[in-house]
Every structure is written in C-alpha cells, then in structure tokens.
A and B are shown apart, each in its own frame.
Chain A
Amino acid sequence: MSEQTTELGHSLKTLAETLIPYIVAVVAAFVVVGIFLAALGFNVLQAYATILFTSFRTPFGFIQTLQKYVPLLLQALAFTVPLTAGKFNIGGEGQLIVGAIGAAAVGIVFAGLPLPLLLPLVILAGIVCGGFWAAIPAWLLYQFGINEILTTVMMNFVSFSLIDYVATEIWRDPAAGHPTTVPIGAGGELPLLVARPPLNSGILLALFVAVLVYVYVNRTPGGYELVATGANARASRVFGINVRTMFLLSLIAGGALAGLSGAIEVAGVHHRLIEGLQSNFLLLGIIIGLIARGNLLAVPFVAFFIAVLEVGASALQRTMMIPVEIAFIVEALILLFVLLSDVVRRR
C-alpha cells in the first residue's frame, strides 16, 4: 500500500515538474509579446482576451478551432511518431499533399460510387499515398543511410510541382481562378457532425488515430521497440531490435498519418484538391511535437492549445488590425522558453 502511495506521490511530483516549465514558458511568451504589442500602441489585455477566448465565445469560433485542430494534430503525430524512434520527418507537408492528391484522384475517378464504398477508399488512398511519399526517404535511409531530414524536406518540393500539375492539367476546374480540381463525388465527402456552422467527422477520425498511436507506442512490444530505438539505437541493436526496420516503419507511419490529414482536408473541408491546402500545418506540427517533447500523450493537448492561438490570432487581425503573424511569434517564443527550461533544469 505504502509503496503504491509513494509511487503515486512520485508521479504527481513528476507531473508538476513537467507542467511548471510549460506554464512559465507560456506566461513568459505572453509577457514578451505583450511588451511588443504595448510598444506598438495596442491594448494588450484586449488582444490577449481575443486570442484566448475567441475559440470559446461563439459556436462558430469553437468549430473553427476544431476544424483547425484536425490537421495540426495529425501533422504533429506525423512528426512525433518517427521522432519516437529518433528520426526526423520534416516531410509532413509533402506527405499531406500527396495524400490529398491520392484522395482526390480516387474521389474524382470513382465519383459515382456510393458513400460506404467511396469514403473508405478516399481515406485509404490518402493514407497509402502519404505513406508512399515517406517510404521513398525511408528506403533511402534503410538502404544507403541517407539522412532523412534532407530527403523528407526535398520531397516536399517535389510534391508542390505534383499538386500544381494535377490541379492545372489533369482535373482542372476551369471555373476556378486558382489551381483547383473538379470536386470529388458526393460519396467521398466526410459526413457532417454539425450542419451549421459545418463540422465534419474528420475530428473523430483524428482523435481515434491519436488514441491508436498512443496505445500502440505505450502498450505493445512493437511500440516498446520504437521507444528503445529512439532512446539508444546501438543498445537496442545489441539487444536484438532491428533498428533499421524501426526507422523505416516509423517514417512510413509518419507519412501515412500526414497522408490521412491530406485526405481529411479533401474529403472533409474542401471536397476537392486546392493548391495551398497544406497551409503552414507542417511547421505548426513540428512546433507542437517539440513543445510536447515528443510525448504522445501531450501532443493532442498542445495541438488544441495551438489551434486556439491560431484561431484567436486570425480574429485579432479582423477586430484589432493586429497582424495574424503575432500567433506565430507567440508559438515560437513558447517553444524557445520550453527549450530554455531544459537548459535551466540541467544546471
């Protein structure tokens, strides 16, 4: 009994030790940005109220936040899962785009199929194409030991040309002024959870996947091997874990997660392929993964917080004429302060 209580006390203490640097980092980031805003002559308190509460004041704000949350969560996972094995996937953007292309292609080619057939196909196409896009750098790493950071980044650039080609040449929508494809079949659209303002069921899919990833990594021998590989690849190899396969599979899994986010953008939000649909989800995903320090339990919460900031900041631009980039500055500062807390703690 007493042993259990001490263990509980220990984990509570660890939780507090984990959370305090975050709280300090968030407060510090807001203080620094506050000084900045005040110097520019804005009302700081009003600005912060807008940033923090827009998401919760109106149903529209909340749904917009959830909408934003889905790709952020999946992109963060696409970065974090390979990170668990010690590999850096900086190609989530390209994997999202290629996943979106795959989803849109299936949705357009088989437009006539009914929903129970077409929707799973569209989602699956996104996952497979995203996984394939990551498999190329993963294989280069497996076979030749080529640094995955370089190759995943380069694959992003290839994907930009690919989406351009698909959206302007193959399935171009002549009525649109921007490179866009014709819409996918109605059977490929994710059903809405709330009609007005619209909230598609992609969020359920994303949350389900987040739980799945968490359970796999923390509750299965395969997940253990992933964590072990990330902790010390050499020792893992000495004790019988095939670390090269771990690298390969973790990167492909990351690509599949990013591909899923692309499929949800197509099937849930746009119902077609639009150039630029990747937004800046990749960077935000990396920031979320790093702020969460790769902790898969923390990622969904950090992602939600960042979604709130993003939505709040766009409201800021509308109501107070403060540039939306302020959110990015806040996020970057939080990350900096969190990383700084590591240095302080080590002293």
Chain B
Amino acid sequence: MFRTWGTRILGSLALIVIVPSITFLLQSLTPVDIGRSILGLGASQDQVDAYNHQLGLDRPFLTRYWDWLTGFAHGDLGTSYTSGEAVTTMLGARLPVSLALIIGSLLIFTVVGLLLGVLSAGGGRIVGRVVDVVSSAGIAIPNFWLGVILVSLFAVKTTILPATGYVPFAAGPGDWFRSLVLPVVALSFAGITAVAKQTRDQMMVALTGPYIRSLRANGVPERSLVYRHALRNASGPTVTVLGLIFVGALSGSVVVENIFVLPGLGSQAVTSAGQHDLPVIQGIAVYFTTIVVVVNVVVDLAIPFLNPKARAR
C-alpha cells in the first residue's frame, strides 16, 4: 500500500514536467509564422526572418525544448515575445491576484459543498432531489453568464459591490475583499454544487455498504450510521474527487478573471493567446500545473489519514 501511495505522489509531481512538455510539443505543431503574426503583414520577409532568428524560432524543436527545460530547471521561463520582459517577472506580479481568487473559491466551495452534501445525505429523498436539481444548475449556468448576471444585479442595478477591477490588499483590505466577492462567488457556484453532489453520492454509496447493514441490524442508530460511519467512509473518495473538481475550477478562473477584469494569470493567458506570445502561455502552464500539483499532493497526503487501509502497515 505504501508503495502505491508513494508512486501516486511521485506521479503528481511528474505533472510539473509533463504538462509544460505537452504544451511545448503543441508549439512544434504550429502552422503559424510567429514572426509574421507579431510583426504584421507590413513587415518584409527579411525582417520576419530576422525576428524569428532573434526569438530562436529557426532552431530545431529538440534544441529549443532542451533550452527551455534547462532554463525551467533554473527557474527561468524565458522572455515574452511581445514585451521582451522576463516571463517570471510578468507573471510574478499577477500571481497574487489569481491565488486570492483561486484559494478563496477553493475554501468556499469545499466548505459549503461538503456541508450541503453531508446534510443532504442525512436528509431523505426530497432533500436529495433538491441537491440533484441545484447541482444540475451548477453545470447549466455557465460561470461567465452567472458572472455577468451578478454584475448586473450587484453592481449595475444596485451598487453594493464594484463591477470589475481589482484592489490590491495593500491598498485597503476592505476594498480588496469587496473586489473579490463577486468573482469568488461566480467561480465557486459550479464547485459548490459539484462538491455537494459528490459528497452526497459518496455517502449514499457508503450507506449501501454491507457493514452499514450489519451495524444497523445490531442496533446502531441511523444518525450515527450517516454522520459517523458513512461520512468517515465517504471522506476518502470525496477528497479524491475534490482534486478533480479543483482542476475544473482552475480552468474556470481564467474565464472569471476576464469577466471581472482581474489582472491575474488567467486574463494574461487570454491576452497572450491572442498575441501568439507562446513563452508567456508556457509560463502560465507551469504556474497552473504547479498549483494543481500542490493540491493533488495535499489530497494524496490526506488519504492515509482518512482511510486506514491506505496507511503503511
């Protein structure tokens, strides 16, 4: 058991290299002449060639990949094609914004989702049906639409909260918090419903377990079966699913940052995608993957605490 657990964590860590390599490989497929698309149609072919040479785009793929890898190992993610700025500097300034949004949402959808899921598991069929319907809404109402509606309700019709923009924490914690409320809600909604449904489903699965039948028949009250035995047995699978839901939420953060014009990684990613600024997107891939890996490792570390069978013997 310990071996599989160890390999799981190693596997999670390997993602840090695997994902950027996949995106790098994608670059090699490019049918687009980067120099041409950045310089525009007005530039002469010589200018374009010189530009491509300057960016190192005329070198073979493997050479470029190797250079990128060695740079990556030393903490250097290259320079932006468009601004010439170091990618780490560019993204470093934006990371806190994204982290505030992502961590805030992670906390909200985990806590609220788990609570709703656990309560609904003990609440009978009608509550379960309600959770099913609401969680369908979580899929059906896309975060960008929800975001726009939230803006129209809380920032246009009434002006309780700012419509867009970001206030740094240093400029005022109150304003910082207010600027994050709508984005966090827009990003959390799908997560809350997904976590609630998963928690409830996992607990329902646990409640059909043969040990529940034995415990019930031998007198253990229903309350304890749900909130003690089923909850404890559902916690492992639920936490595993939490990791996957988080990956989805990370993708959502890109959209949400664009709705609310937050100067984070996600809005930069979309801008850079439009400009063919591949090193920047590549850098964002590294940052996002690192966040995913951290969450996955936390999940992997949590499993043995939740599941005695996964503990080292």
Q: Do A and B bind each other?
A: no
Task: Name A residues whose Cβ lies closer than 8 Å to a Cβ of B.
Answer: none
**Which residues does B use to contact A, with CB under 8 Å?**
none
